[in-house]
Amino acid sequence: MAEIKLREILSKKAFTRITPLGYYMGGVSHDPMDNGMDNASWQIITQADFLREYYPSGHRINDPVYYPDKVRQDLETKKYYVEQVIRCAFPFQKIIATKQIIHLCGNDVRFELTEPRETQEQKDLFFNFKKGWQLKHTEYALYSLVKSIKVTGDGAVAGVISDGQFSWRNFSYLNGDKLFAHYDDMMRLKLFARQYKSYDEAGNEAKVFVEVWDDKNHYLFSQPLKGTKAKVIQLLGVFGLSGYTEVRKPIPHGFDFIPIAYFRSADGACWSDSQNSIDKYELAVSHLCQNNMAYAFPIMFLKGDSVNIVGGENIYAPVKAITGDSSSEASFLNTPDGSASFELQLKILLQNIFQGSFTVLPPELKSGDLPGVAVKLLYSPAIEKAMADASELDMTIADMVKIFAHGYGLEIGQMTPMKNLKINSWIEPYVHQNVAELMQNLLNGVQNEFLSKETAASLTPYGKNDEYYRIIKQRKTEAAMTTPEDINLNTIP
């Protein structure tokens, strides 16, 4: 077996966050063309770190090394004990991720034929394409892909043809998958691998598997059992996979290209820019709660030699009576009030958490429905973020359309015509809207003849994929006073 020439399949660039180390250390030069020497330092962030940030139970505030418990000494026994501090973790990351996902996936993917003159056959095939897109739950596959990208930094969706039927498979680190995409010099996907683990009934790791796709075949490898000699597997004469053996012979996947739509976010998780503020917010709230435990309850001050207290066995039990002589005194100490300082700190941190992630909290409305422009202004940061994300995912959507046209076209026996359809696809970010206002705008467009009824029927939120054909069918039925079964839709112009 030939030696590995470039790099192994199971390798990819790490997710990183730049550190301030070396800030403004590029040197001084009289030549403006001199770029200086500045080697940036990066903190490696693993996808497991993203999961720790996503789930409140894994936040840094719960780590005793980052926020240690307090060590106390009993004055009577002179023994030391650990007092557990209050730790407050909040699901900001889930809130941010959910809002960004919904603004991006709240609307179905938009399609349009880009043919200069569509024939009736192309229109019918385009209708079958959109119907199949829904029947194969492609919108859910896209939602799962976007969720994986927002939470773990990358994600993939694969087209599968089995027994002549097309379906989707989603791969994500959320489900224990490690994804490795390799590209050629033209940035076209050359090889894709998925690593995952299997577990026995007791939950112990049993075996590690690797699935690999090239432009023809689907491969499955596994780590050999103990005592079995591992091999070096060569694929495409460039990539190697050492330490694995073939589980079965390669199987043709049924596509003439790699049926994978993969996307990787350069920033990692969608809340990365706000993570530092989230850590500081949780630390500040934890300090506030600890401060309240110490100072929220009034501290009693007693003076005198013959003071007797009835009740008050602990800090929660009320004092029934206090007795003493003429020189005795009892009062409450004035506790320090830091609520204003905490309030300002928490307000600034909370504002930066949501501003840094382009997240908008729902405003409190004192009136009825708002006009569309007012809603867009209120949610403009979230909408702008969704528009930027939609542009970045444009090629991924095109890959999904390509995979679907091949796979679903093969299933219905129209693969070549469906692949030849020139379909423009794009994501339209979801914006909270006044539906009555939208319907009125569509009506005005049709009545003033700058919008066709067919386009309006496709834009209405209440319509179906074939809404325009239903309208024609209804009118022909009413004109002929016959049943809908008597209408041949193939004759409709």
- How would DSSP label each residue in 388-404? HHHHHTHHHHHHHHHHH
Mean pLDDT of the chain: 84
pTM for this one?
Answer: 0.82
Query: 46-65 pLDDT, tens per residue?
Result: 999 999 999 999 999 999 99
The predicted pLDDT at position 465 comes to 65
The predicted pLDDT at position 246 comes to 84
The answer on pLDDT for 486 being more than 60 is: no
Mean pLDDT of 422-435: 88
With 0-12 / 13-18 / 19 or more C-beta atoms within 10 angstroms meaning exposed / middle / buried, residue 102 is middle
Q: Which of 104-113, 167-176, 219-228 has the lowest mean pLDDT?
A: 219-228
The predicted pLDDT at position 6 comes to 39
- C-alpha distances (whole Å) from 182 to each of 32, 65, 262, 263 are 38, 38, 11, 12
The answer on pLDDT for 399 being more than 60 is: yes
Query: 71-89 pLDDT, tens per residue?
Result: 888 878 888 888 889 999 9
Query: 25-38 pLDDT, tens per residue?
Result: 777 778 777 777 77
Amino acid at 88: C
The predicted pLDDT at position 459 comes to 73
CA distance 260 to 399: 8
Cα-atom radius of gyration of the chain, to the nearest Å?
Answer: 32
* Three-state DSSP state, 52: helix
Q: Which residues pair with 240 in a beta bridge?
A: 8, 234
Q: Which residue has the tokens 């004035």?
A: 334
CA distance 147 to 272: 15
The answer for residues whose C-beta is within 8 angstroms of residue 329's C-beta and 6 or more apart is 301, 302, 303, 304
CA distance 286 to 84: 12
The predicted pLDDT at position 94 comes to 96
The predicted pLDDT at position 493 comes to 45
The predicted pLDDT at position 95 comes to 96
Please answer whether residues 430 and 103 qualify as being in contact, where contact means their C-beta atoms are separated by less than 8 angstroms. yes
Residue closest to 151 by CA, chosen among 268, 267, 12, 274:
268
CA distance 307 to 302: 8
What is the per-residue DSSP string for 249-279?
--EE-S-SS--EEEEE-TT-STTGGGHHHHH
The answer on pLDDT for 199 being more than 90 is: no
The predicted pLDDT at position 1 comes to 27
